[in-house]
Structure 1
Amino acid sequence: MDRVIYNFDSLSQRQSAATVPLRRSIYRARRVPEPRIGIIYNPRSHRNKGQDLACAGADNAMVAQPRTRDEIAHALAGFAREGIDFLIINGGDGTVRDVLTMGQAVFADRWPAIAVLPKGKTNALNVDLGAPADWSLEAALKAYASGRRILRRPLAVSRVDEDDPAMLGFIFGAGAFTLGIEAGQEAHSLGFFNSLAVGATGAWGVLQALFGTNGNKWRRGTQMDLRYLPGGAPLPRSKYGDPARRSVMLASTLERMPMGIQLFGAPRSGLKVAVLDRPRRRLLAALPAIFMGWRPRWLAEAGFHQLDADAVAIDVAEPVILDGEAFPAGRYRIEQGPELTFISV
């Protein structure tokens, strides 16, 4: 995450140039013998820096190297006009977020099959999909015909009471998670990437919360209101901590997390939410075992909640994170986006 707070303001303008009529029929990306291929290559992704795009076996593919969201929208519109069957995203989780977000207006509910080459710093989506960390373009092209097809629905995150289009991503967080992303940048600068970076930053946050004072930013929590949608009932909370504040809130539709962490409980589909009310030292000391699958009965009563929801609303006083990028404080609606077909080995 660059130390920048992004906003939704211009997304509707970026998407309007590529808008197509919304098709309401149910659609699944099908295999075709000779797929038309579109490749989005992010030259700024961590593992792409200083490297050329290897296109072995993809002589008939269209390749775009957009550097802005506006350029992504125009590239995808060109792919759609050519009727691509297979979209390959060469980049990290942030690149995936931007491509999916800008692709809404282009593909509506007729998305091509998608493969993601894990070229970013964490690549959480690819951990979930089970693709190799060194997955190549050539291997992804072969997987189109013979690989697994995995259905996933990204999160759709939108500002409440505003007309901005939803952002599509896979991990949304608030509270100490925002601090963790900032700490992650420090881990990256020290050479920690992928699951190792997740483990390093997670351990650092736990240590801060365990041994810090109540005034420590890792312990004081963030003012936020969490409610189920559409009914508006508040999410459960324990008796610990300020009722107006929570320590951490996370939401995702991923089924497997980096390092095998069971952050949301047992692996399952759908929108899942994890909330920590207050970082009590007894609870934090037990988190490693909990993340490996231990389910003590006292978990929710102690202030850690693992929940399922159709949709949730969050009103938060500090910036939030979607796939590694910060967005302003405010009121957000979080639900499931379109069903997408991902290719893996």
Structure 2
Amino acid sequence: MATPIYEFGQMPRHAATTAPGSTRRPSRETARKAGEAPCVGVIYNPRSHGNQGADFDCGVSPHVHIAKPGDRSQLPTALTEFAERGIDLLVINGGDGTVRDVLTCGAAIFGDNWPAIAVLPKGKTNALTVDLGVPADWTLQDAIDALDSGSRVRRRPIEISTKADAERGHAGSRVLGFILGAGAFTKATQAGQSAHRLGAFNSLAVGVTTAWTIAQALFAGAENPWRKGSRMRIELGAQRTAMAHSGRGDTEYRQLLFASTLERLPAGTRPFGKLKAGLKLVALDQISRRTAALLPLAIMGREVANLRERGIHQLSAPEFTLEIDDQFILDGEAFPAGEYRIGQGPELHFVAP
């Protein structure tokens, strides 16, 4: 719950929690009487871009319990208290990074018995709320009202664990999020930080960084990090079938990897083409400048002939393994080189208008 990019070891993980999943009392949502106020727990991140200088109203209702964790290490305590209250609605007030931290810490506490979740888009990036159709001015009261009168959107976050921990069945090392990227995506994340400093956020920031990424693919030299990408090996499914490579450039490298379980992305981008549900990937080999010129069409979901032969791979998989020699990014957070298993976490029910 901080703005800089941290390494994997600094992430809040399940093992950091102090309460088992059994601490959660049954939700009162299905037992509430007509007109009875729901029990609501709010994680408020005062460092989120949209919250800076804002004084959150802590006297909304006696049924609304607000926690302001000073850092990630305080999240488990706050979420455990919410679980013991049997909250009907968990409201996350922050951006994508805050969502990632809350879901990661909450997995060991709520287990398979999560409350409904609402997200107030208060971060520099709010890709999840774009997918949920939540407006930028959504308030806490709007989210509470939507618990009974709004819609529900089901999503499963990406679940990442080291390959070694996954093979040993160590659930404590899992981290949950929604957008994963590597290669040029890591460079784009750094460019996005610069765009934020220039005042570009959300879809505008996505547009700026996407344009810069395409420009680098078009004009940078072959050894430029944007075009060279990262050495990585991707194996699909439980059978660990090696992802195909077009043969363009070094077959041990991918220029870019992007994966998500979201179905709608900022700025109207559709990098996965017609693929919509589940865990989706798009990987770029070291594509030619001619193919790079077609990237705007591919990113917007337009039909482009012979994509795979050109070195652009769009596919879905229930899980995959990633062996990478460089950092990769999950919701703005840097993870170090290594071997990882990437799958899908629990199905969560998000409240939407």
Name whichever structure is richer in helix by fraction: 2
2:112 alignment counterpart: 109
1:206 alignment counterpart: 214
Counting aligned pairs with the same residue, the percent is 48
* 1:271 corresponds to which of 257, 279, 283: 279
SS in 2 for 1:300: helix
1:12/1:122 Cα in 2 relative to 1: closer, same or farther (>3 Å)?
A: closer
| Deviations, residues 171-218 of structure 1 (Å, cap 9, x unaligned) | 011111111101100000000000000000111111112111112111
Paired with 2:201 and 2:327, the residues of 1 have a C-alpha distance of 24
Deviation at 1:2, TM superposition (A): 1.4
Paired letter, 1:270: G
1:150 alignment counterpart: 153
Paired letter, 1:285: A
1:22/1:254 Cα in 2 relative to 1: closer, same or farther (>3 Å)?
A: farther
1:2 alignment counterpart: 4
Paired with 1:214 and 1:229, the residues of 2 have a C-alpha distance of 32
Is 1:295 equivalent to 2:298 in the alignment? no
Whether contact under 8 Å (1:39, 1:87) holds in the other structure is yes
**Runs of 5+ unmatched residues, structure 2:** none
Paired letter, 2:126: N
1:125 alignment counterpart: 128
Whether contact under 8 Å (1:318, 1:328) holds in the other structure is yes
1:31/1:185 Cα in 2 relative to 1: closer, same or farther (>3 Å)?
A: farther
SS in 2 for 1:76: helix
Deviation at 1:228, TM superposition (A): 0.8
* 2:66 corresponds to which of 46, 63, 66: 63
In the TM superposition, 1:155-166 aligns within 5 A as: 155-162=158-165, 163=170, 164-166=172-174
| Deviations, residues 22-64 of structure 1 (Å, cap 9, x unaligned) | 99xxx9x758443111000000001101111135743421100
TM-score w.r.t. structure 2 length?
Answer: 0.92
**Runs of 5+ unmatched residues, structure 1:** none
Paired with 1:216 and 1:31, the residues of 2 have a C-alpha distance of 59
1:177/1:343 Cα in 2 relative to 1: closer, same or farther (>3 Å)?
A: same
Paired letter, 1:311: E
2:262 alignment counterpart: 254
* 1:195 corresponds to which of 192, 203, 209: 203
1:253/1:9 Cα in 2 relative to 1: closer, same or farther (>3 Å)?
A: closer
Paired with 2:331 and 2:70, the residues of 1 have a C-alpha distance of 18
| Deviations, residues 89-108 of structure 1 (Å, cap 9, x unaligned) | 00000000000000011100
Is 1:34 equivalent to 2:42 in the alignment? no
Deviation at 1:10, TM superposition (A): 6.8
Which range moved further: 237-246 or 281-290?
281-290
Q: CA RMSD in A?
A: 1.9
Paired with 2:142 and 2:62, the residues of 1 have a C-alpha distance of 15
TM-score w.r.t. structure 1 length?
Answer: 0.94
Paired letter, 1:90: N
Deviation at 1:278, TM superposition (A): 1.2
Whether contact under 8 Å (2:232, 2:324) holds in the other structure is yes
Paired with 2:23 and 2:284, the residues of 1 have a C-alpha distance of 39
